[in-house]
Amino acid sequence: MRKVLAIITLVIILLIPTFLFDGIMPSIGDPNSAPNTHVSDYYIENSVEMTNSPNMVTGILADFRGFDTMFETTVMFLAGLGAVLILSNRPNIKKRFIIPRNYIKQRPNIGAPRYKTINKDVMITLFEPLMMIYAAYVYFHGEISLGGGFQAGAVLGLAYIIDVMIVPGRRKKLFALDKGNALSIGGIGTFIYALTGILTMTGGGLCLEYDKLPFGLSHAESHSAGILMIELGVTICVMATIITILNAIMGRVRFDDDPIKRREDA
């Protein structure tokens, strides 16, 4: 039954774009399409002046197409939520581990975590704060150059992965979040993005019209502040989504090296 539902879902996913966008979306590479005739030229000619961002990509994604990027951030949050819902049906712990047939119980040194060495512990302890500092740099630098919320959130999520999966549990973690708290933080990140749009509307403008932020800033300052606000929401959401998915997976699978020991612990 599940295979049938999966096939039906796949067919629907493939057919919807065919019927919904056929004749509506421009053909890829069409020189006469709107993006190739005037939209792209408008962005190139006015991006720096209108968005106050020397990075044209940031200006387009966070300003001209800020509403679209907000829904991309929402999709990230929904991905974490979906992972939690799908993996929440946790099987019995004793059914999660399979002992290989050729496993030799008397084999020496079996069960010692592969990453449990002093050198790796020390290096990871030094790397994690540096990664978090670099993530902050990428976040603040994204408004004027390469970087931004998605990249900063990914670096923070990677720091968490290293902290949880590689470092043994005998020392205090740099930071620890369960999947429920991580998912809530992801929602907060999405809310920060939406809140920026709400603030611009309370100032009498359209959603994400940064000139209308009620902070009494100039045109350049308001756009910089608006971009930093939504990038903060993106950073938090991406980081929390990575952590949520990791925790949801780790709730069903353990990464010990000794299957016999895992059975005994269960």
Question: CA 96, 100, 104 angle in degrees (round to 5)?
Answer: 125
pLDDT tens digit sequence for 121-173:
677 778 888 999 999 999 998 877 777 899 999 999 998 888 877 655 545 56
pLDDT on residue 109: 47
- 205-231 exposure pattern, b = at least 16 Cβ within 10 A, e = fewer: beebbbbbbeeeeeeeebbbbbbbbbb
Name the pTM for this structure. Answer: 0.77
Average pLDDT over residues 4-22: 71
Look at residue 259 and tell me whether its pLDDT is greater than 70: no
How far apart (Å, rounded) are the C-alpha atoms in residues 153 and 240? 8
pLDDT tens digit sequence for 222-249:
999 999 999 999 999 999 999 999 888 8
